[in-house]
Chains A and B, each alone.
Chain A
Amino acid sequence: MQQLRLIIKREYWTRVRRRSFIIATLITPLAFGLFVVIVNYILQYKSDEVIRIAVVDQGELFSGGIADEENIFFKQLDVDLETVQENFSEFDYHGILVTPPAGSVQQQKYTAKYYTDQKLTLELEPVLIDRLKSALRKHKIEELELDEKTLSALNSQVDIKPTPVTPEAVVGTSLAGKIAAVIGMVMAFLMYTTVFIYGMMVMRSVMEEKTNRIVEVMISSVRPFPLMLGKIIGVGFVGLTQITAWAILVPLMLIGVNLFFGFEVGATNLPEAPPELNGMNPELLANQIMTELGSFNWWLILPLFLLYFLGGYFMYAALFAAVGSAMSDDLGESQSLTIPITIPVILAFYITIAAIQSPNSGLAVWASMFPLFSPIVMPARLPFDPPWWQVASSILLLVLACMALVWLSGRIYRVGILLYGKKVSLLEMGRWIFRK
């Protein structure tokens, strides 16, 4: 125990003190802030390219004139097409829009010609279509002798209000499901990245000890198992330190950016806001989100998240340690050994994406039981209030698998670290488990 503590302490302090760690911890929030600034700038950027368009209104659609965009200007010409075409090069037009007559009221297809020598840009095409559409609509309303009020009566706004059957059930509003999905995704993503970053850190450190030959000195004082366990725990604390630092620094950074540049940070975080939220009063929306967030059972979700985090980290870090111990000094050819570990992590992430769509589907339920997937899939399901027995059995399986894998990895590790200059297959690593 004393030795384990010493090892954990060393693994932790030598890493946390390292300049590269401090830089990574500080730079990441800075980079994040910079990213937000740049993305905002890009989103707010308006084209400065001025496009002038000649309109030959044969169908007489635009009797009321055409609205210009900020950088797109329409000019209606009273001459015929040939004249404009002949003199096209003299004027600085991007193209000539020619509108045929609207035809009968029932006709839904309408094709206008646009004469130009350049390509239609992504920016321009929707503008042209929009202008034509509204002109046609106006034209048809007049033809059918309708009025706008009657028409807008046809549009209905539909909302679904989830209401609990049993009084204790918490269903929240329809917004709750969306927020749950976002929270689930964030949790899964956190899990996914940390397993990779810190699992790989454990692996690299094991390899380093092996190539440095320090491991031989170490295991003449310490048994291999505490050495491996100490490393995993030590690096785990490093991970917690870094994530905590980021959890504090990133929001500070965002607030700072917000104050300094004065734009809504939220807009970039949720670039694809659900359409029904558009047009809602942002303050009202923020309030509603806050209420919804409050309705989640955080006292259950957060500890469970931590539990899954620990389970997932230990399991994968142990596997990475086992693989690191089997690697020879040659990095390249041994890299293939990590593939069997990375595949379940990536699979779990994709399953999570599916699980968020339908959190109680068979795939989601089974994947959240399977220990290699559950640390990533289950936290994503937690905001959807999965049945308690599923959570309980998933955790039980995770704990068992975690202990088994740490033990098995220890068996592989103890043989691997003493083996030099030999390429090892997975099968051989399997045999080490049973070696005395």
Chain B
Amino acid sequence: MANILEIKEVSKRYGSKVAVDAVSLEIPQGRIFGLLGPNGAGKTSLIRMITTITRPDEGTILLNGEPLHANHPRQIGYLPEERGLYKKMKVGEHLIYLGQLKGLSKKGAEDAARHWLEKLDLMDRWDQAVETLSKGLQQQVQFVATVIHEPSLLILDEPFSGLDPVNTNRLKAEIRQLHEAGTSIIFSTHRMEQVEEICEHIALINAGQNVLNGRVSEIREQYKENHFQLSYEGELPSNFTENFTVVSQQNQEVTIAVPEQLTGNQLLRTLLNKGVQIRAFNEVLPSLNEIFIRIVGEAKPVQTD
């Protein structure tokens, strides 16, 4: 599988503070890649280097196999976490302006802007100043500005922050469509539930270092603790736990930890032998949120704002 982006041993320092510390990452072509990490972990610093806003102190970044150069931003669409628009400009001319800066012709930028605004049902706002739009609409215009030049790599930094549920779903749908059309997407956030929903691959950045990366399913598999959940009827025999530990138990449900040398099948067999009435039995995989907390440490609770 080809990688759209390869980050090799990249470091960035601001004064004495190390923002990014020898991070290596491979971001596969055409996938949605989650870049996770607590606030201040270095996600934004890393993204700024990818978008050529800043240059790495060490290491190289390859986009489609080439070292980053001045024309690459045209292939990248970046929606920063700190975002804004020129308040006095009209929606239409603003989109054309940003499109032209990304290398589109005036005509091309205008066509693309019309296409997107029609799609989002915002065509009647064409001649309105940005400042007269509601915040939700401004965010949509901002999103259009990010994708107007059909980037092959789309970087979204906390794209849903400040959006209401309706607009969040609308944006998610747009992101999925772009994904289906073959756009590679880097999705940076500290909100795990969104990552599990959207991303196929993730990397976890903490304190400037890449502490974890891979497929979401593999990572969950890797961090599983051999916990199994059992729903049952009637009573549990008192002696079934000779080899196993009960992690938690409530309302006819019990979570059981299986030691490493044993398997779920052995637990199930034991339960059957003891005559437990089983209603459901499944392996418990940790959520990314749990993995995240486990790695980053309880000291820094994850914000879910």
| Chain A interfacial positions (CB closer than 8 Å to B) | 3, 6-7, 10, 14, 18, 212-223, 418, 420, 431, 436
Instruction: List, in ascending order, chain A residues with CB within 8 A of B300's CB.
Output: none
Q: Known contacts A3-B101, A6-B100, A420-B82; is A217 also within 8 Å of B145 by CB?
A: yes
Instruction: For the complex, give the distance between the alpha carbons of A418 and B45 in Å.
Output: 11
- With both chains docked as a complex, state the minimum distance between the C-beta of B152 and any C-beta of chain A, in angstroms: 15
10 contacts between A and B (CB under 8 A): A3-B101, A14-B86, A212-B86, A213-B83, A216-B53, A217-B84, A219-B53, A220-B53, A222-B101, A436-B55
Name the one of B53, B86, B146 contacting A214, with C-beta atoms under 8 angstroms: B86
Instruction: List, in ascending order, chain A residues with CB within 8 A of B142's CB.
Output: 217
Instruction: List, in ascending order, chain B residues with CB within 8 A of A212's CB.
Output: 84-87
Instruction: For the complex, give the distance between the alpha carbons of A221 and B76 in Å.
Output: 9
Instruction: List, in ascending order, chain B residues with CB within 8 A of A218's CB.
Output: 101
Instruction: For the complex, give the distance between the alpha carbons of A10 and B96 in Å.
Output: 11
Name the one of A6, A213, A222, A223 contacting B82, with C-beta atoms under 8 angstroms: A213
Instruction: List, in ascending order, chain A residues with CB within 8 A of B76's CB.
Output: 220
Instruction: List, in ascending order, chain B residues with CB within 8 A of A223's CB.
Output: 70
- With both chains docked as a complex, state the minimum distance between the C-beta of B216 and any C-beta of chain A, in angstroms: 27
Instruction: List, in ascending order, chain B residues with CB within 8 A of A418's CB.
Output: 48, 53-54
Does B100 contact A220, Cβ atoms closer than 8 Å?
no
Instruction: For the complex, give the distance between the alpha carbons of A218 and B15 in Å.
Output: 25
Q: Known contacts A217-B142, A220-B51; is A6 also within 8 Å of B97 by CB?
A: yes
Q: Known contacts A216-B82, A217-B80; is A18 also within 8 Å of B100 by CB?
A: no
Nearest residue (CB) in A for B56 is A436
B57 at the interface (CB under 8 A from A): yes
Does A216 contact B83, Cβ atoms closer than 8 Å?
yes
- With both chains docked as a complex, state the minimum distance between the C-beta of A425 and any C-beta of chain B, in angstroms: 13
Nearest residue (CB) in B for A218 is B101
Instruction: For the complex, give the distance between the alpha carbons of A215 and B86 in Å.
Output: 9
Instruction: List, in ascending order, chain A residues with CB within 8 A of B83's CB.
Output: 213-214, 216-217
- With both chains docked as a complex, state the minimum distance between the C-beta of B144 and any C-beta of chain A, in angstroms: 12
Does A213 contact B53, Cβ atoms closer than 8 Å?
no
Nearest residue (CB) in A for B89 is A14
Does B101 contact A6, Cβ atoms closer than 8 Å?
yes
Instruction: List, in ascending order, chain A residues with CB within 8 A of B80's CB.
Output: 213, 216-217, 220
- With both chains docked as a complex, state the minimum distance between the C-beta of A238 and any C-beta of chain B, in angstroms: 14
Instruction: For the complex, give the distance between the alpha carbons of A7 and B84 in Å.
Output: 17
B78 at the interface (CB under 8 A from A): yes
> Interface digits, B117-141 against A, CB 8 Å rule (1 contact, 0 not)?
0000000000000000000000000
Instruction: For the complex, give the distance between the alpha carbons of A6 and B97 in Å.
Output: 8
Instruction: For the complex, give the distance between the alpha carbons of A213 and B80 in Å.
Output: 9
Nearest residue (CB) in B for A227 is B101
Q: Which of B51-83 contact A (CB under 8 A)?
A: 51, 53-55, 57, 70, 73-74, 76, 78, 80, 82-83
Q: How large is the interface on B (under 10, 10 to 19, 20 to 34, 35 or more residues)?
A: 20 to 34
Instruction: List, in ascending order, chain A residues with CB within 8 A of B70's CB.
Output: 223
Those 7 A-B pairs whose CB atoms lie nearest each other, nearest first: A213-B84, A212-B84, A220-B78, A214-B84, A216-B80, A213-B82, A221-B101
Instruction: For the complex, give the distance between the alpha carbons of A247 and B87 in Å.
Output: 32
Nearest residue (CB) in B for A6 is B100
Instruction: List, in ascending order, chain A residues with CB within 8 A of B101's CB.
Output: 3, 6-7, 218, 221-222
Instruction: List, in ascending order, chain A residues with CB within 8 A of B86's CB.
Output: 14, 212, 214
Instruction: For the complex, give the distance between the alpha carbons of A186 and B54 in Å.
Output: 45
> Main SS of the interface on chain A?
helix
Instruction: For the complex, give the distance between the alpha carbons of A7 and B98 in Å.
Output: 10
> Interface digits, B1-39 against A, CB 8 Å rule (1 contact, 0 not)?
000000000000001000000000000000000000000
Instruction: For the complex, give the distance between the alpha carbons of A216 and B82 in Å.
Output: 7
B191 at the interface (CB under 8 A from A): no
Instruction: For the complex, give the distance between the alpha carbons of A220 and B148 in Å.
Output: 14
- With both chains docked as a complex, state the minimum distance between the C-beta of B127 and any C-beta of chain A, in angstroms: 13
Nearest residue (CB) in B for A431 is B15
B102 at the interface (CB under 8 A from A): yes
B88 at the interface (CB under 8 A from A): yes
Instruction: List, in ascending order, chain B residues with CB within 8 A of A3's CB.
Output: 101
Instruction: For the complex, give the distance between the alpha carbons of A431 and B97 in Å.
Output: 34
Instruction: For the complex, give the distance between the alpha carbons of A18 and B85 in Å.
Output: 17
- With both chains docked as a complex, state the minimum distance between the C-beta of A411 and any C-beta of chain B, in angstroms: 13
Does A217 contact B88, Cβ atoms closer than 8 Å?
no
Instruction: List, in ascending order, chain B residues with CB within 8 A of A436's CB.
Output: 55, 57
Does A14 contact B88, Cβ atoms closer than 8 Å?
yes
Taking A3-B101, A212-B85 as given, write out 12 further A-B residue pairs in contact, using a Cβ cutoff of 8 Å, ordered by the A residue number.
Answer: A213-B83, A213-B84, A214-B85, A216-B83, A217-B83, A219-B53, A220-B51, A220-B53, A220-B78, A221-B73, A222-B101, A418-B48
Instruction: List, in ascending order, chain A residues with CB within 8 A of B102's CB.
Output: 221
Instruction: For the complex, give the distance between the alpha carbons of A217 and B70 in Å.
Output: 16
Q: Which of B239-293 contact A (CB under 8 A)?
A: none
Instruction: For the complex, give the distance between the alpha carbons of A27 and B227 in Å.
Output: 78
Instruction: For the complex, give the distance between the alpha carbons of A309 and B295 in Å.
Output: 60
Nearest residue (CB) in A for B146 is A217
Nearest residue (CB) in A for B54 is A418
Instruction: List, in ascending order, chain A residues with CB within 8 A of B55's CB.
Output: 436
- With both chains docked as a complex, state the minimum distance between the C-beta of A257 and any C-beta of chain B, in angstroms: 35
Name the one of B15, B85, B87, B89 contacting A217, with C-beta atoms under 8 angstroms: B85
Does B97 contact A10, Cβ atoms closer than 8 Å?
yes
Instruction: List, in ascending order, chain B residues with CB within 8 A of A420's CB.
Output: 82
Instruction: For the complex, give the distance between the alpha carbons of A223 and B68 in Å.
Output: 14
Instruction: List, in ascending order, chain A residues with CB within 8 A of B98's CB.
Output: 217, 221
- With both chains docked as a complex, state the minimum distance between the C-beta of B98 and any C-beta of chain A, in angstroms: 7
Nearest residue (CB) in A for B57 is A436
Instruction: List, in ascending order, chain B residues with CB within 8 A of A219's CB.
Output: 53
- With both chains docked as a complex, state the minimum distance between the C-beta of A138 and any C-beta of chain B, in angstroms: 75
**Which of B15, B48, B100: most chain A CB closer than 10 A?**
B100
Instruction: For the complex, give the distance between the alpha carbons of A121 and B253 in Å.
Output: 105
Instruction: For the complex, give the distance between the alpha carbons of A418 and B57 in Å.
Output: 17
Instruction: For the complex, give the distance between the alpha carbons of A218 and B88 in Å.
Output: 16
Instruction: List, in ascending order, chain A residues with CB within 8 A of B15's CB.
Output: 431
Instruction: For the complex, give the distance between the alpha carbons of A6 and B102 in Å.
Output: 11
Instruction: For the complex, give the distance between the alpha carbons of A250 and B145 in Å.
Output: 43
- With both chains docked as a complex, state the minimum distance between the C-beta of A420 and any C-beta of chain B, in angstroms: 7
